[in-house]
Structure 1
Amino acid sequence: MELGLQGKKFLITGGSRGIGRAIVLAAAHAGADVITCYVQESEYVESLRRELKETGGHHYVIRADVGEIAQIDSLVETAKEKYGRLDGIVNNAGVISHIPFAELAPTEWSRVIDTNLTATYRVIQQALPLLGEGASVVNIGSRGAAAGIPLRAHYTAAKAAMIGLTRSLAKELGGKGIRVNVVAPGVIETEAFDSMPAERAEGLRATYAQKTALARLGRVDELAAPVLFLLSELSAYVTGETLNVDGGI
């Protein structure tokens, strides 16, 4: 069985690093054309552009902060200009901070909610005219939405709300042949671990190894694979679901 993603057109937000980058590259290697976005210039952005150029296809890496409505609208308009349609959307871009609830300022609450939740609403809404029958939307959630995480009330609230949004849209858009699902990662090892002190990184690996059935952290490619499954026709009868990719945490 093949994914059948050759020539598909995808918009994947937050694709320069971590999970988003893995999804972008996996989709491109599977034959899809991808538009992705980033907030700040960096070597990660430049290296992604190089890798996509070497992969072949029609890919675009665009600066856009999905925490800003106007920039979301511009991003979707670019997708319309470049592709004329979208076969899939992955709402991956997000931000997080660790703040005691008693000290959580309204501005920080809004920043996290806007980037993690409001952006998802706006991307999907503005892209609706580009989505036809068979299109798939995958929202990247968090296993923490169900578990709850201290110091992340704003983040877990946004990710929990994403599940409700997803289930409602699955029912509202299902008659048009559009599917909407959530992929909820557990602890995935990204390049963020490389920037930590070695002792802290090893401590986190050891802690989560004890908490998961598979006794290890996840890899970004292990998160990208289920996302591609949900973007493909192999999952044509799957919608409104939350797929936990967490190693059995």
Structure 2
Amino acid sequence: MPALSNVYPSLKDKVVFITGGGSGIGECLVENFIKQGAKVAYIDIDESVSLALNKRLEDTYQATPWFKQVDVRDIAELQTAIDEAAEQLGGLDVLVNNAGKDDRHNMEDVTPEYWDNCLNINLRPHFFGMQAAVKWMKEGASVINMGSIGWMRGRHEMVGYTTSKGAIHTLTKTMARDLGPRGIRVNSVVPGAIVTERQKALWLTPEIDQQFIDLQSLKFRIQPEEVAAMTLFLASNDSRACAGQNFIVDGGIV
């Protein structure tokens, strides 16, 4: 797809913190916020891919994001990273709760430990990330939670993941009410069938790819850049009247 064309002057010099920013949709978010002139901080569990990303961004844009290796299941480390980035970069204007893991699993194989791990990766960090971020945020700040159409469609063989993502809908609605009086917007972006390198490596086949396109109203493969486009809008001042909403980017599946 062509490069994103919108430029949001309100994003220049804004401090943006992204979880799971080293690869996939997160990598695309990091790069496009850098292109907007934002001060970007991100965490990821994979240090090697993140350092490679930073090198590429430095070579391409002469800008290096703030990065720390963090496993979002460790809430203390997550919150410490948010505090460190905000202190070093001068506050916090945008939080993007992006980190997640969409493993497939049969219902019969799910143990209590596996179930807890799904929620610990895909849901719990969203709330505790907000808890740490809001003390740094001022009026006009924005929180963007990454959802999934998986729960809306009742996607089979991933009940731990879809349950987590369904709960993000409620979390977003509730926190929008709680933080709205402070002038902080909370919304979620809901991607559809997005092709990432992880998807290609683990389970995407030409047949599965075609199945998703057949389900879509728009007959083209949705890319991470489409998710980034919506996220940039919600982070910018142009979305000042948007709160508590799910913004679906799926080509018309649901």
* TM score, norm. by length of structure 2: 0.92
Q: Which amino acid aligns with 1:236?
A: R
Q: Which amino acid aligns with 2:54?
A: R
- What corresponds to 2:251 in structure 1? 247
SS in 2 for 1:16: coil
1:3 and 2:8 matched: yes
- Conserved 8 A contact 2:148-2:190: yes
Gaps of 5+ in 2: 1-5
1:104 and 2:119 matched: no
- What corresponds to 2:57 in structure 1? 52
- Conserved 8 A contact 1:31-1:57: no
For these two proteins, the number of residue pairs brought into alignment is: 246
Q: Which amino acid aligns with 1:78?
A: E
- Conserved 8 A contact 1:208-1:216: no
- What corresponds to 2:129 in structure 1? 123
- Conserved 8 A contact 1:143-1:184: yes
- What corresponds to 2:207 in structure 1? 203
Query: 1:159-179: per-residue Cα shift (whole Å, max 9, x none)?
Result: 111110100111111111000
- Conserved 8 A contact 1:205-1:216: no
* TM score, norm. by length of structure 1: 0.94
- What corresponds to 1:218 in structure 2? 222
SS in 2 for 1:174: helix
Query: 1:6-41: per-residue Cα shift (whole Å, max 9, x none)?
Result: 100000000111101101100000100111111123
1:177 and 2:183 matched: yes
Give the Cα separation in 1 of the matches to 2:86 and 2:107.
40
SS in 1 for 2:20: coil
Runs ≥4 in structure 1, deviation > 3 angstroms? Answer: none
- What corresponds to 1:84 in structure 2? 90
Q: Which amino acid aligns with 2:212?
A: Y
User: Which has the larger share of strand?
Assistant: 1
- Conserved 8 A contact 2:66-2:85: no
SS in 2 for 1:188: coil
SS in 1 for 2:25: helix
Gaps of 5+ in 1: none
- What corresponds to 1:227 in structure 2? 231
- Conserved 8 A contact 2:7-2:36: no
